[in-house]
Structure 1
Amino acid sequence: MEALNLLESFIQSAHAGSFSEAARRLGLTPAAVSKNVARLESQLGLRLFQRSTRSLTLTEGGRQFLQSVGEPFADLQDAIAHAAQQDGEPSGTLRVSVAVAFGRDYLVPMLGGFLQRYPAIVPDWQFDNRPADLIQGGFDAAIGGGIELTQGVIARQLAQVHGVVAAAPAYLSTHAAPSHPAELAQHDGIVRRSGSTGRLRAWVLHDRAGRQVQAECRTRLVFDDPDAMAHAAMLGYGVALLPLPHAARWLQEGRLVRLLPGWYTDFGPLSLYYPHKKLLPRSTQVFIEYIVQAFREQRLAARFDAR
C-alpha cells in the first residue's frame, strides 16, 4: 500500500498544482506530501516536478508518467473501494459540489432522509456558484448546470430549468405591468452578469407558439447571483428574469408576481454530474439514486417548468 500512497500524493499534487492543496485533499501535511513525492522520484529515478517558491509544474517526464498511471490508479482505487463495500453498507466521505442558494433551498432539506438511510456516509459539500471541475476538484458528484462534459464525466438530467420575468407587488403599484416583451423597455431591470464570460445576459423570451423575442429593459442593477436578483426584485428595485428554482417559492408566497405569463426563457438542463468509472463507489451510486428519486417524488422538474 506504500506505493499507492506515494502515487496518490503525486497525482493529487499534479492535479492541484501545489503540495498544500494536495495535502488538504488527502488530509496530510504539505511536508508529508512533498516527502512522498520525493520518495517516488527517488524510486523512479525521475524528476516529476519543477519546484519553486511560487509554483509546482510537471516536468515532461512527470507529465508522461501522469498520463500512464492516472487512469489505472483511479481504476485500482475504485476496485478497492468497491470490494470494501461489497459486504457492508455504503460508507465514507461523499464530496459534492452544489450552487449556494439551490443547494441550501432544495438539496440540504433532502439530506435528512439520506443520512438516516446511510449513516456511514459523511457528506462533504462545497457550495459554489461556479461550475465545478469534477476530475481536478476530486468531487464524487456535482449538481447544477453548465458544467463542461469533459472526458470521464457523465451528466444525468434532473430537470429543464425555465426562467420568468417577475417583480414585487410594490413595484407594480407604481408601474404598469407589461402586456408584451417589447414593453419591458419601459421598466427598470435587474440584470445578470455571467460569471464565466463577464457579459450581461440577454433576455431571450419564448412563447408556447414558438415565437422568440429578445427583450430590453432599462438596466438599473447588475448582479451575478440569481438569488440576490430575486431578493432585489422582492424589495421593489425593478423587474428581473429569474430561474424558477430561485423564484418559485416567492411566486407561491405572493412576494413576487410573474409578468408576461405566456413568455419564458430556457436556462437549459439541471443535471447531476459524476465521474465515468467502471466501478462507481457505492456511496456515489446510492447518492445518485436518492437524488433522482427525491426529484421525482417532489415533482421538482414540473416546478421548474414555466410552460
Structure 2
Amino acid sequence: MDPLALPLVDCHAHLYPPNFESDEIDAIVLQAERDQVSAIVVVPEFPDDIQTVQMLAKKNAVIHAAVGLHPVQKGPLPTLTETPIAPHQPRSIQLSEFAFLEALDFSALSRVVCIGECGLDYSPHILNTLLPIASVEQQKEVQAAVFQKHIDLAKSQSLPLNIHSRSAGHYAVDMVIQNNVAASSLLHAFDGKPSHALQACSHGAFFSVAPIVVRSPHLQKLVKELPLTNLVLETDAPALGPEKGVPNHPSNLALAACEIAKIKGIPVAQVAQITTENAHRLFRMEK
C-alpha cells in the first residue's frame, strides 16, 4: 500500500473568501479528498467568517467547523466612535467583541469540532497599532482576557481549542496549563521555544505541523524534539506553504507528513497513522 494512501487530517485551514475565491473552494476540497485528506478543520478569524464556515461545513462532509475570534481583528475600535484605525488595518481584539460569540446558539450550529482560532498575538507591529490609545501592556491584558473567555467557552461546550500564539508561545502554554485544558488544546504554527512546547506536551497538548516545515528550521527543530504522539498536521491554507509566496492548499498536507518522517527517521505511514489518530481523538471525529 502507498503510505500516503492513508487518510490525513488538516487541523487548521482558512478555506473561505477573501483567502480563496468562492468558485475555487469546491475544487480545492475535491482535490484534497483525492489526495487522501479525509477531514479539514476550517477555522474562522473574524465574525463574518463564522457564518461562511458554517455554510461550507453544511455543504461538504469533509469540512468541519470551528467557532472563534482571532486575537488580531481589524478596523475601528468598537468602543470608540472616532479612532485612527483604518477599516482593514489589523489591531488587537477588544473585550467587547467577544459578545458576538456569547450570543451564538451552539445548538443551531453544524459540525463544530473546536473553539478557535483564538489565542494571543504579541507581535510588535500589532501591539503598536493602538498606541497611544492603549499601551502595549493594556493590549496584552485584553488579549489574555479574551483568550480566557474562549477557554471558558470551550469548557462550557466541551470542545477543544485551536490556538494562535504568535510571539506569545509561553504565555499561551501557561494559560492552557493553568486552566487544565492543555490536553484538549492544539497550538498551531507555534513559534515559541521547544522547551515551552515540551512543557505543554507533558500536559497532553498537541502541536500542528504545516508544509512550511520543509523550509523552516524552527519548525524542523520543533518536530525533532516533540513526541509524535503530540503532533498533528495542518496547512493554515493559504499560508505556511512549501513555497514562499505560493498559496497553500490542503493537498500539500502529505508534504508535512513526509518531512516529519524524514526528520524523525520513521516511515511516513507511521506519521500518517499517528497524526490522524491524534486529530480524531482531539476533535472527537469518527474514523
Q: Which has the larger radius of gyration?
A: 1
Instruction: Report the TM-score when normalising by structure 1.
Output: 0.24
Structure with bigger strand share is 1
